[in-house]
């Protein structure tokens, strides 16, 4: 049965297998945040905590609305679903890769080329970077490690 599915949908099967490998690779990666950055990393984490506690974005003050609400919502949803930050970010990245492949599949009809493009995108070194995927929100030179 599984062989029939793989033969009928080779690109989808290939993408699903690589997706599983990718998630397994990032599942144990540590995350980093700049703890004293009250206007960046710390604000995002505090807003996320407030959302989880049912307090919207926390106490209203001069920094409440200086950043958007999507990232704290993303952090809160990841926490509520019990998904680690690195896995949640990687899932979003994988979704982006899949959308790209779906968008170009009519232009590039060769499935092997699509598989190659997907593999290169999915395992791009930037997706394992401390500055890009392991950092909670902003780039910085000083980071604090959270276990």
**Phi, psi (degrees; rounded to nearest 5) at 108:** -115, 105
Q: What is the pLDDT of residue 41?
A: 66
Place of tokens 């033969």: 7
Q: Is the dihedral of CA 35, 40, 41, 44 positive or negative?
A: positive
DSSP 3-state of 145:
strand
pLDDT by position in tens, the chain (length 147): 667 777 788 888 899 889 899 888 888 777 766 556 555 667 777 777 777 888 777 777 666 666 767 777 888 888 889 888 888 888 888 999 999 999 999 999 999 999 999 999 999 887 777 666 666 654 333 344 444
DSSP 15-77: HHHHHHHHHHHHTT--EEE-TT-TTTHHHHHHHHHHHHTT-TTSS-STTTTSS-SHHHHHHHH
Q: What is the pLDDT of residue 85?
A: 81
């Amino acid at each position: 049965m599984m062989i029939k599915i793989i033969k009928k949908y080779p690109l989808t099967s290939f993408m699903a297998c690589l997706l599983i490998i990718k998630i397994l690779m990032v599942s144990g990666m540590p995350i980093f945040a700049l703890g004293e950055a009250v206007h960046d990393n710390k604000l995002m984490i505090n807003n996320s905590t407030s959302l989880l506690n049912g307090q919207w974005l926390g106490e209203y003050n001069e920094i409440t609305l200086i950043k958007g609400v999507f990232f704290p919502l993303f952090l809160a949803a990841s926490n509520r679903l019990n998904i680690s930050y690195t896995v949640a970010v990687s899932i979003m990245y994988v979704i982006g890769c899949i959308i790209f492949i779906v968008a170009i599949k009519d232009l590039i009809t060769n499935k092997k080329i699509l598989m190659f493009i997907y593999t290169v995108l999915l395992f791009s070194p930037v997706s394992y970077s401390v500055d890009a995927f392991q950092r909670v929100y902003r780039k910085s030179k000083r980071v604090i490690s959270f276990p």
